Amino acid sequence: MTTPRDPAQLDAADPLVAHRDLFVGSESPLVYFDGNSLGRPLRVTGQRLATFVTDSWGERLIRGWDEGWMDLAGTVGDEIGRVALGAAPGTTVVGDSTTVLLYKMMRAAVAARPGRTEIVVDRDNFPTDRYVAQGVADECGLTVRWVDVDPSAGVTPELLAAAVGPRTALVVLSHVAYRSAWLTDVPALNAIAHEAGALVLWDVSHSVGAVPILADEWDIDIAVGCTYKYLNGGPGSPAFVHVAARLVDELTQPIQGWLGSREPFLMGPVYEPAPDMRRFLSGTPPVIGMLAMQDMLALVDLVGMDAVREKSIALTEYAIEVAEELLAPAHVDIASPRDSARRGGHVALVHPAMREVTQVLWARDVIPDYREPGGLRIGLSPLSTSFAEVRSGLEAVREALAGLVP
C-alpha cells in the first residue's frame, strides 16, 4: 500500500478544476458522493429557468410550440447524440422516463424478431431493466434467460456467448453496472449478440456524460439513458432513446400517441408511425424537463468527453488509493474493478455496516448512496467533484464506521 497523493496538489494540477465553481453548492463544505444518482445544478440553469417562465412561456405562450418547443425532443436529442453518444443526427430523441422508454424499446425489439422466444438479461442488471424485461416477456409469451454474474464485476463476452442462441430475440445490458461500476466491452458483446441474430438494448444511464460512448462506431442497436445523473437534467428529467439509423424503419413502439404519428396535426382516424425518430415519441414533449440538461450538454461539449473521462478515472483512482489507506484496515472491500479500462465513474465500498454508515454520513452532510448488499457507492461527477472532496468524504466514512463498529 502506498500513501495517497496530496489532494491539494491534485486539485491544483487539475485542468478542469475551474469548472467546479460553475455548480450550485460547490462553495459549501458538503461532500457530494451521489453525482451518479442526481447531478448538481449549474448556476446558469436558474436564470435559464426563470427566463423561460417570464419570456418563452409567459410572453410567447402557446406560440412557443411553433417557435421551437415542438422540435425540442429531437433538437436536444441530437445534442446528446453529438456530445455524449457518438451518434449521428436524427437518431436520438428525448421523451418519457427511463422506465417507459425501456418498455417501449423492449416491446419494439422483440416484435422485430418474430419467432424468437427469449430475452437475455443478467441478474445484476438495474432492477427496472430486469422488471421491465420480465413484464415484456410475460406480455409477449416469451422467456427470460438469466445470466448469472459476479456482482463485483459484470457481463463478460464468455458469459454472453453461453447465453445467446437462435431463440434470442433481445439482449438487455448496462454499459456500466450500477452496483460495481463494471464497464462492459460494448463492441465485443454486440458482435456476439448480432452473430446470434439478436438485437441489443443498452442502458447507458450510469455512463452517459461520464464515459465516452461511440454508438455508431460500436454498432449499437438501441440505447436508453436517463439525464439526471451525469447530464444534470434535474430530478425526474426525461430520458432519451437512440436507435441505429438502419433500424428506425424496422421498429415500431407500442404506445401509439399522437406525437409519434406521421401527421400529428391531421388528427387522423388511424395511427401511422412517423418515418423518423419521432415515431418513438408518444405524447407532448417535456419542454421544461429539457431545459437544465442543455446547460450541462454545453459544458460537456466545451470540455470534451475525453477530458471528462480522464478526470473521472483520476478521481476514482484517487478514491481507491484513499480507501485502501483509510478503510481497508476496517475490512472494507473495494467491489469495483481496479483496472480503469473496466471501471465507470463510481467506486463501490462494501462492509456489513454500510447501511448505518450512510445514515450517519447524511446527517453530517456527506452524501453517498447505499446499495444492497452492504455497498456504499462513491459517485464522482467529474466536473463538479474535487480531489479534496474525495479525501474529506472518505475520512468521514472512516469516522462513521469507527463509531459503529467496535
Domain count, the chain: 2
Spell out where 110-235 has E strands: 118-122, 143-147, 168-174, 199-203, 222-225
pLDDT of residue 152: 84
**Whether 312 and 291 share a structural domain:** no
How far apart, in whole angstroms, are the C-alpha atoms of residue 252 and residue 243? 11
CA gap 138, 76 in Å, rounded: 34
CA 366 – CA 157 distance, rounded (Å): 37
Burial grade of 388 (CB within 10 A; 0-12, 13-18, 19 or more): middle
The owner of cell 421491465 is 132
**239 lies in some domain:** yes
pLDDT over 80 (residue 346): yes
pLDDT of residue 1: 52
DSSP 183: B
The number of angstroms, rounded, from the C-alpha of 351 to the middle of its chain's C-alpha atoms is 25
Strands 168-174 and 366-367: unpaired
In this prediction the pTM is: 0.96
The answer to whether residue 221 sits within a structural domain is yes
Are 92 and 280 within 8 A, CB to CB? no
Q: Do 275 and 313 sit in the same domain of this protein? A: no
In angstroms, the CA 153 to CA 343 distance is 9
Of 300, 326, 360, which residue sits at a domain end?
300
The answer on pLDDT for 108 being more than 90 is: yes
377 belongs to the catalytic site: yes
pLDDT greater than 70 at residue 2: no
- For residues 181 and 310, membership in a common domain is answered with no
Q: What is the pLDDT of residues 32-86, one digit of tens each?
A: 999 999 999 999 999 999 999 999 999 999 999 999 999 999 999 999 999 999 9
Q: Domain of 99: which CATH number?
A: 3.40.640.10
**Which residues on neighbouring strands pair with residue 201, listed in sequence order?**
172, 222
Give yes or no: residues 204 and 72 share one domain.
yes
Residue 244 and residue 225 share a domain:
yes
Nearest to 122 by CA among 143, 158, 151, 148: 148
Distance CA 190, CA 316 (A): 27
The stretch 4-29 carries a mean pLDDT of 96
pLDDT value of position 151: 85
Q: Is the pLDDT of residue 406 over 80?
A: no
Let me know if residue 40 belongs to a domain.
no
| pLDDT tens digits, one per residue of 235-276 | 999 999 999 999 999 999 999 999 999 999 999 999 999 999
For all residues of the chain together, what is the average pLDDT?
Answer: 96
Joined together, the cell numbers standing for residue 158 give 464468455
From 246, 279, 300, give the residue that closes a domain.
300
- 8 Å CB contact between 190 and 214: no
Examine the domain organization and report whether 271 and 315 are in the same domain: no
Cβ count within 10 A of residue 178 = 24
What gap in Å lies between CA 23 and CA 42, rounded to an integer? 4
DSSP string, 316-356: HHHHHHHHHHHTGGGT-EE-S-SSGGGB-SEEEEE-TTHHH
Q: What per-residue confidence (pLDDT) applies to 191?
A: 98
User: Is 41 among the domain residues?
Assistant: no
**Residue 396 domain-assigned?**
yes
DSSP for residue 172: E
Same domain? For 279 and 388 the reply is no
Over residues 202-228, the pLDDT tens digits come to 999 999 999 999 999 999 999 999 999
Please check whether residues 92 and 238 belong to one and the same domain. yes
> What pLDDT score does 124 carry?
95
Summarised one tens digit per residue, pLDDT across range 300-340 is: 999 999 999 999 999 999 999 999 999 999 999 999 999 99
Catalytic residue among 107, 229, 343, 371: 229
150 catalytic residue (yes or no): no
Among candidate residues 23, 33, 228, 387, the one labeled active-site is 228
Q: Is residue 295 located within the same domain as residue 311? A: no
The CATH number that applies at residue 339 is 3.90.1150.10
Going across the sheet that includes 118-122, the strands are 92-94, 240-243, 222-225, 199-203, 168-174, 118-122, 143-147
From 14, 203, 221, 295, the catalytic residue: 203
Whether 126 sits among the annotated catalytic residues: the reply is yes
**218-240 core/surface letters (b: 16 or more CB in 10 A; e: else):** bebbbbbbbbbbbbbbbeebbbb
Does residue 143 lie in a domain region?
Answer: yes
Catalytic position from the list 107, 278, 377, 391: 377
Q: Are residues 128 and 64 in the same domain?
A: yes
Q: Is the pLDDT of residue 341 over 80?
A: yes
Which of 73-82, 92-101, 150-159, 384-393 has the lowest average pLDDT?
Answer: 150-159
pLDDT of amino acid 4: 82
Average pLDDT over residues 376-401: 97
| 23 exposure class (CB count in 10 Å sphere: 0-12, 13-18, 19+) | buried
Contact by Cβ (8 Å): 360, 403? yes
Phi, psi of 35, deg, nearest 5: -65, -15
Q: Are 336 and 152 in contact (CB under 8 A)?
A: yes
Determine the structural domain holding residue 345 and report its residue range: 7-32+304-404
pLDDT at 138: 98
Is 228 an active-site residue? yes
Residue at a domain's end among 243, 278, 300: 300
| Burial (Cβ within 10 Å: 0-12, 13-18, ≥19) of residue 259 | middle
Indicate whether 132 and 60 sit together in one domain: yes
146 and 112 belong to one structural domain: yes
What does the buried/exposed string (b/e) look like for 271-292 if buried means 16 or more CB atoms within 10 Å of the residue's CB? eebbeebbbbbbeebbbbbbbb
Establish if 157 belongs to a structural domain.
yes
Q: Counting every residue, how long is the chain?
A: 406
Out of 23, 33, 126, 240, which one is annotated catalytic?
126
Q: Is 42 a domain residue?
A: no
